[in-house]
Amino acid sequence: MSKTNRSIRGMHDILPAATSDWQRLELLSQRLLESYGFQEIRTPMLERSEVFTRAIGQATDVVEKEMYSFSDRNGDNLSLRPEGTAGVVRAALQNGLLYGPVERLWYRGPMFRHERPQKGRTRQFHQIGAEVFGAAGPDVDAELLALGERLWRALGLSGIRLELNSLGNSEERAAYRQALVHYMHQHQSALDDDTARRLERNPLRVLDSKLPAIQELLQEAPVLSDYLGSESRDHFDRLRERLDRLGITYQVNPRLVRGLDYYCHTVFEWITTELGAQGTICAGGRYDGLIELQGGKPWPATGFAMGMERLVALMTQGQESGPKAVHAYLVLAGEAAQLEGAVIAERIRDAAPGLRLQTNASGGSFKAQFKRADRSGAALALILGEDELAAGTLAIKFLRQERAQETVALDQLSTWIRDWFQDTKQH
């Protein structure tokens, strides 16, 4: 196939064989978020570029090299959203959702970053995220972590560890930044170009370096926790106390910083070792300064975002996924049966909500139709031919079970199907 007929590099189709896994994640996460009092918000995929540059920070990888930005026909600078928080904050400010009681919002959808595609890293990817506005204490941070752990359990995932750190407030970070820069400059000769550049533009990002030489150098570097004042330390201590009470285990990682600039105090990542290098499935923390950056009065905020591709990969590891099979396939032989069949099919759907029924389309012999019925994965073939039509009945053949074919009167069909469907759901 020529390149122009293929999807864009790093942007993938999610095919029928995989969508049921995605739906399971969507359903369970929505239910769980609702059980913690969150309401869904949907914001546009395109925003003015400043919405992101202001929030995320100029000197971040996302803004420097990952955003899909362009000017539209009016000359406005727009970007496809690289993450969800900035747009949610923009929407909350614009629509007066802030400055009242605590607001809990969740979102889900595609995000876009021009990164090097690799396992667990795509250019269109999907996140589920949650944000809490108006609560400054560590109690909410702890609750968000409880929610995360509960979700991993609901999804049947294990072996996910929680890493935690405190970034303090902006003055404390500024003091630490200075100390870090000073230390690194003493080892100038050991720095590669990228690290030197980070050090100049956004020093805390050095802590995030994946280079072994830099990691080694950082072993002896000053640590942020030594620069936290008593309020910040207290926030962090109270968070940890709550996690202990909830039985949530974690590791403090003093070098954990986040790629986006807006975080303060609590930051965390949920990490698995089972997906190779791209092991962070959920990341978040507190971003009390963001609302002011976006033009509002200061207001506390905290949240997280999880990567759906990575979660689905983890959920389906070592497991064959397939398209969702239909429950029943309606075989229709002859023009008269086709005509009547369409009506019967609607009646069946009325009788058994949730039942997946596929009606044979575009004719074909009995044999051809049975082949399609078998391929559809259906448990039942519902057969309407001339004989059945004349007798006012329908034949039911069990495609995945040693069980004799049955004949059901058309006026009994709804009841029969409803009972059968109840039974199947219970098994």
Residue numbers at the binding site for ligand ATP (CB under 6 A): 83, 113, 115, 120-122, 125, 127, 259-260, 278, 280-283, 305-307, 309-310
What gap in Å lies between CA 262 and CA 189, rounded to an integer? 31
Sheet of 77-80, strands arranged across: 46-48, 77-80, 69-71
- Give the residue with the Cβ less far from ligand ATP, 276 or 295: 276
- Give the residue with the Cβ less far from ligand ATP, 88 or 333: 88
- Give the residue with the Cβ less far from ligand ATP, 63 or 381: 63
CB of 222 to ligand ATP, least distance (A): 23
CB of 260 to ligand ATP, least distance (A): 6
Q: Nearest-CB residue to ligand ATP? A: 307
CB of 296 to ligand ATP, least distance (A): 22
CB of 156 to ligand ATP, least distance (A): 18
| Ordered DSSP codes for 70-103 | EE-TT--EEEE-SSSHHHHHHHHHHTT-SSSS-E
Radius of gyration from C-alpha coordinates of the chain: 28
**Cα–Cα distance list, 392 to 258, 342, 346 (Å):** 68, 15, 17
Strand, coil or helix: 302: strand
What gap in Å lies between CA 160 and CA 145, rounded to an integer? 12
- Give the residue with the Cβ less far from ligand ATP, 287 or 416: 287
CB of 216 to ligand ATP, least distance (A): 20
**Cα–Cα distance list, 322 to 20, 27, 116, 369 (Å):** 8, 18, 29, 22
- Give the residue with the Cβ less far from ligand ATP, 313 or 355: 313
- Give the residue with the Cβ less far from ligand ATP, 272 or 369: 272
Give 278's contacts (C-beta < 8 A, 6+ positions apart): 118, 119, 120, 121, 310
CB of 394 to ligand ATP, least distance (A): 48
